[in-house]
A and B are shown apart, each in its own frame.
Chain A
Amino acid sequence: GESVGLHLPTLSVQEGDNSIINCAYSNSASDYFIWYKQESGKGPQFIIDIRSNMDKRQGQRVTVLLNKTVKHLSLQIAATQPGDSAVYFCAENRAAGYSTLTFGKGTMLLVSP
């Protein structure tokens, strides 16, 4: 039979709100983490990254927090805009020295004007 599609968690916010997207990762040996944004019909677009020796990193309107104790990542988007509507993925690099990413299931962010 037909496989059931992933039910993506969805976060709905109003324009101008701050958004927080969470991600749990599985491998305590992962040393590099990335957030990607994927719009319909396009490939994942790099947003921000963080290494395991940091717990916070800021970009333009975005902040990534890393909690290695509980293996948790979050992406904070300030003053969310309709153009931020997309699916957001966290990814971890589990293979030191290799370019091998393991992706989370994704979160759909919907921003209402």
Chain B
Amino acid sequence: KAGVTQTPRYLIKTRGQQVTLSCSPISGHRSVSWYQQTPGQGLQFLFEYFSETQRNKGNFPGRFSGRQFSNSRSEMNVSTLELGDSALYLCASSLGQGIEPQHFGDGTRLSIL
């Protein structure tokens, strides 16, 4: 069974630009969650999508948004990029019942210049 796939693996952007990251979940998984990982803040929850609906949201500004498609694939968008947005963005998928493990991709490393 293929794991969670995130593309691209690396991105370099400049301040003020926007970026879209993609995540393909494990086949059969309907929940996709996004996390931001930085040396300063560790792993922080961004949002979760389940059946094309945002089901939960973390404490991030509105510049961070996402969506989920009918095939459960998800995209995350960050607009008006700031230097502090440099991070590893991780996507995780699960069946979405809450009491089962989430399985992570290897992330997209976003660097803002």
Contacts and interface: CB of A to CB of B under 8 A. Distances in A.
Interface of A: 3-6, 31-32, 34, 36, 41-46, 49, 51, 89, 91, 93, 95-106
B94 to A, nearest CB: 5
Interface string B34-66: 010011111111001010000110100000000
A99 B40 contact: no
Nearest to B97: A97
A105 B38 CA distance: 11
Contact of B48 (A42, A89, A98, A106): A98
Residues of A contacting B: mostly: loop
B98 A99 contact: yes
Contacts, number: 80
A108 B34 CA distance: 23
Query: Range of interface residues on chain B?
Result: 20 to 34
B39 A99 contact: no
Contacts of B40: 3-6
Contact of B55 (A43, A45, A98): A98
Given A32-B98, A91-B43, A98-B48, 19 more contacts: A3-B39, A3-B84, A32-B99, A34-B101, A43-B4, A43-B106, A44-B90, A49-B101, A51-B99, A89-B43, A96-B98, A99-B56, A99-B92, A99-B98, A100-B45, A100-B48, A101-B102, A103-B43, A106-B42
Interface of B: 4, 31, 33, 35, 38-45, 48, 50, 55-56, 58, 84, 90, 92, 94, 96-107
Contacts of B101: 34, 46, 49
Contacts of A91: 43
A3 B99 CA distance: 34
Contacts of A104: 42
Contacts of B48: 98-100
